[in-house]
Structures are given as structure tokens and as C-alpha cells.
Structure 1
Amino acid sequence: MKKISIFIIAIIAVIVMFTVVNMSTYPDLPVNSISPKEAIEKLKKANQIDLVKISQDDNDAWYITENQNGVTEVDENIKKFMSSNGWAFTEKEGSGLFFKKDSGESSVVTTEMWTKKYFLVKVPSHF
């Protein structure tokens, strides 16, 4: 009877540990310059900022934002962000938001649901 009790306790402990480890990890980011936990911390430290830059290379800048009220709110935050930098929203197709400038330049910003709680936003560097 003692052996069975110890075995059951060991199984429960393994299940609890597995659950805790899975809950404390995030999927990989599409960039290598920052870890997922660092990206979340950066967003939390920013407080009221809707989009927080987590990485930039020659081609793209990556931002993270919290998913509080769905993709519509994320899209609105991107539109505000881009318009404050001189870009006018033209249309949305799938996960891409299309923008134009008065100069005729165009840009596509894409969104990606990273977890249930967070979205990643890819903005071309020429922006």
C-alpha cells in the first residue's frame, strides 16, 4: 500500500512540474535578438504604450502588443501608430494592413498572434 501511495504522489508531482514548466514558457519569437521572456518584460515595463519595439534589422522592425480586446483593437493601434508617422491606411487583407504615403510609397504591416495574450507586429524598416 505504501508503494502505491508513493507511486501516485510521484506521478502527481511530475504532472504538476510539467504543467508549471509549460505555463512559464512561451513559443519562440521570429527574431533571435531577444528572448520571449525579455519581450514580455519589455512590454510590461512600457505600461501604457500600445506597441513596443522588440527587434530591428535591415528589413523589418518587430513590435509586441497585448491582446486585450481582439485583433480589431490591435489593428486600430497599428493604424494610429502608422498615421502618427505620416502613413494613411488603405485596406486590410488577411493579417496584412496596407498603408500609403503622400509621396506614393506603400507599406504592408503584418500581425501574428503569438499567444492568446500577445500579438507580434512586423513593420518594414523603410517605414
Structure 2
Amino acid sequence: MIRKLVFALITLCCFAFLLGAWWYNDRPAFLYPPLPFQTVEKKVVVSQLKQADDQFIMLGPDENSQYIWGGAKTGSNAAEQLKSILKDAGWSFHEQEGAGYFFQKGSEKIVITSQMWSRDFVLFKIPSSLDAIFTHTE
């Protein structure tokens, strides 16, 4: 009787360990923190970002339509892709200060900020005045 109980307990622990390892490496959307915008469902954002490889992708507008959100996997070259997209549209990269990327086109200046959403993904908050540039690149 004791042997069966010990075997069942060891089996249960192994199953829990494997399930935990799977969730840690391929977490379902509900385990991610809340999004800084509510216009797109979290599971849609997670799915899009997981499928994006190392590409910068557009995710959607914020509630006030003042900003559009983009994202990429952590460690990707998303910031460089962002700079390239804006350079092609005539914007010059001025500097980076912390999480802010400063761009200029003539006398107009913009700031695009980034934030770590999770250990897996980084999000970019882009002024909606640039929506046409990013909609055109998709």
C-alpha cells in the first residue's frame, strides 16, 4: 500500500514539474501581465508576437487613438527595424535616452518609447501621426 502511494506521489510530482516547465517556456496568454492598451485582446497580441520571429510588428491603436502600439520579441533587432522604417519615411534618428527613441524630420520631433511587457516581449508606443508609415510597411 505504501509503495503504491509513494509511486503515485512521485508520478504526480513529475507530472507537475513537466507541466510547470511547459508553461514556463510556452506560457498561455492569461499568464502575461495586462497590456498597456485595451483595443486588442491579450491572447491575440501574444499569438502575433510569438509568430513574428524577430520582426517588429504593429499591434493596434490605444483607446484614445493618440498612439499606435508595436512589438517584438525581447532580444530582437526591433529598435533597428523601427529606425529603418522611419529613415525610409524621411525621419532621422537623433538619440536614445533610456526607453525613448528621438526622431526628427525638419522642425518636427517625435519620441517613440519602448517598454518591457514581459521577459519575452517589448512593446513600442508610437505617435498616431506616424500611423500611415507603419500601415504602409505591413
TM over 0.5: yes
Q: Kindly report which structure 2 residues correspond to 1:1-127, keeping only aligned pairs within 5 A, or say none.
A: 1-22=3-24, 23-26=26-29, 27-28=32-33, 29-43=35-49, 50-57=55-62, 58-69=65-76, 73-102=77-106, 104-127=107-130
Q: Tell me how far 1:12 sits from its aligned partner.
A: 1.9
Unaligned runs of 5+ residues in structure 2 are 131-138
Give CA-to-partner distance per residue, 1:29-67, whole Å, 9 cap, x none. 32223234422433566678x321111132211111234
Unaligned runs of 5+ residues in structure 1 are none
TM-score in terms of structure 1 length: 0.76
Equivalent position amino acid for 1:74 in 2: A
Higher helix fraction (1 or 2): 2
Q: What is the percent sequence identity of the aligned residues? A: 25
Distance 1:44 1:116, change over 3 A: closer
Counterpart Cα distance in 2 of 1:80 and 1:63 = 15
- RMSD between aligned alpha carbons? 2.6
TM-score in terms of structure 2 length: 0.71
Count matched residues: 122
Equivalent position amino acid for 1:94 in 2: G
Counterpart Cα distance in 1 of 2:88 and 2:115 = 22
Equivalent position amino acid for 1:56 in 2: P
Distance 1:19 1:45, change over 3 A: closer
